Amino acid sequence: MNAPALQARIAAARIGERRILQGIDLAVPVGRWTAVVGPNGAGKSTLLRCMAGLLPCEGQVSLLGRPLADWPARERARTLAWMGQQEAGGEDLRVWDVVMLGRLPHRAWLAAPTGADRAAVDAALRATQSHALRARRLAELSGGERQRVLLARLLAVQARVLLMDEPLAHLDPPHQADWLATVRALVAAGATVVSVLHELNMALQADDIVVVRAGRIAHHGAAADAATHQALQAAFDGRIAIRQVGDDWVALPRAGAREAA
């Protein structure tokens, strides 16, 4: 059997004195889109940062069957791409240069970008409808425009495994639909996508859903499974209901459920 894209066996992850994650045992399969969902503060971002190797944790994370620590840094950076939540910095950089940062793991030290680097940046800008922004500075963009540029930087890496923390924040519905098409195309091409999402209706379109609650994985299953829907409803204290509409599953807020509970 093929190694999972990511395997996380994390006994604990701490920030300062606080234990944020515990007892995590998660295998993310290759070539699928996994959505990570759960209430605010559940530990979703912490889990993603551990899996990206950005936060030390007690345990081991493996990328494509090899522990993160055993990967040469550049090869790992070409294989695993990361898009964080509310990333700051680089405000004076122009959009083109921000997206070109995604090419750093492919480039020789201090070498000028190659034709392949430029082509990757161009394709990433077009895929995120941000080509027209390429000469603007990051500081001059709206929240949604900025989010698309960060997505373009992630795509420019051309990594096999992509981690995204709340990539849909600030995106209007047409750009959310573009993001969905991009993710489906990546997965169809064999890439693995893991995205933290607050938009449950989007998460329900993923292949698999991981439900995080209070620092633990409460459930991991196919997005279409009844057990997954039950776990989602439980994670949000019965304040949502999941219903089938045509071929899709949708999550609906339940007014008054707090009183009934």
Q: Where are the alpha helices (DSSP H) in the chain?
A: 44-51, 73-79, 95-100, 115-127, 143-156, 173-188, 200-203, 226-235, 257-260
Q: Helix (H) and strand (E) counts for the chain?
A: 9, 12
45 binds Mg ion (CB under 5 A): yes
CB of residue 163 to ligand ADP, shortest distance in Å:
13
219 binds ligand ADP (CB under 6 A): no
Q: If you ran DSSP here, which 8-state letter would residue 66 be given?
A: E
Nearer to Mg ion, 79 or 195 (CB): 195
Interface with ligand ADP: number of residues (CB under 6 A): 12
160 binds ligand ADP (CB under 6 A): no
- Give the tokens for residue 216: 């633990």
CB within 8 Å of 32: residues ≥ 6 apart: 187, 192, 193, 207, 208
143 binds, among Mg ion, ligand ADP, none (CB under 5 to 8 A by kind): none
Q: Interacting stretch for ligand ADP, rule CB under 6 A, among 11-19, 71-79, 95-103, 232-240?
A: 11-19
Tell how far CA 8 is from the center of its chain: 15
Q: Interacting stretch for ligand ADP, rule CB under 6 A, among 15-23, 95-103, 142-150, 177-185?
A: 15-23
Window 20-49: contact mask with ligand ADP (x via CB under 6 A)? x-----------------x-xxxxxxx---
Q: Where are the alpha helices (DSSP H) in 9-113?
A: 44-51, 73-79, 95-100
Tell how far CA 9 is from the center of its chain: 19
Q: Which of positions 46-85 make contact with ligand ADP (CB under 6 A)? A: 46
- List contacts with ligand ADP (CB under 6 A): 15-16, 18, 20, 38, 40-46
